[in-house]
Amino acid sequence: MRKGRQTAAAAAVLVAVGSLGLAAPTASAAGRTAATAATTCPTGWGSLPEHGTADLAPHSLTDVRTGRHDCYDRIVFDVGSGTGPLSYSVAYVDVFRQDPSGTVIPVSGGAILEINVGATAYDPETGQTTYPGRPGKALPGVDLTGYHTFRDTKFGSSFEGVTQVGLGVRARLPFRVLTLPDRLVVDVAHTW
């Protein structure tokens, strides 16, 4: 009989706790927690220059596209399949100068990120254009309307195996660089 009273008492405690709202979180509370976690922005990015060097391997730039995310804006350089690792350099500059002429190309925004990708805007074997960028002009097909961080893009040049782009951003914000076999990705955070 004593065991029956303990079981009944335990059941009564569980019912009381549940009626006080101390039970497991409801689906809506769990959803709010998941939504909060989803918008937690990454930390640890910086604003110092980043670069990756590799043997000069033939890559051709085929497209440049952008995307908006909760915590950052993204620019992607599609380079097709090359024969080796992709080289790059990404750094904030005071003035965007076309390589090799040194001509200043105005880029709108509070800061300018110069991106150099180890890929040509033409096929190295045939000389045929693979990306229609024009020096000093906005990147073809890139519309930055509604972006939080990105303000402007300008094509610099495609010279000696490297394509140069100026990216105007709202301020000198943290960024990261990711490389994949067929693309270079640059993310710029919305805030510090």
Q: Taking the domains of the chain in order of start, what are their residue ranges?
A: 2-38, 50-189
Residue 29 pLDDT class (50, 70, 90 cuts): very low
Cα dist. 22→9, 12, 15, 124 in Å? 18, 14, 10, 68
In the block, which residue shows the tokens 């689906």?
27
pLDDT digit string, tens, across residues 33-89? 444 445 688 778 999 999 997 656 678 999 999 999 999 999 999 998 766 788 999
CATH class of 50-189: mainly beta
pTM over 0.85: no
For residue 150, the model assigns a pLDDT of 98
Tens digits of residue pLDDT in 117-132: 999 999 888 889 999 9
The pair of structure tokens assigned to 140 is: 């073809």
187 exposed, middle or buried (CB, 10 Å; 0-12, 13-18, 19+)? buried
Mean pLDDT of 17-24: 36
Mean pLDDT value across the chain = 83
**113 pLDDT band (50/70/90 cuts)?**
very high
Least trusted range by pLDDT, from 39-43, 113-117, 137-141, 159-163: 39-43
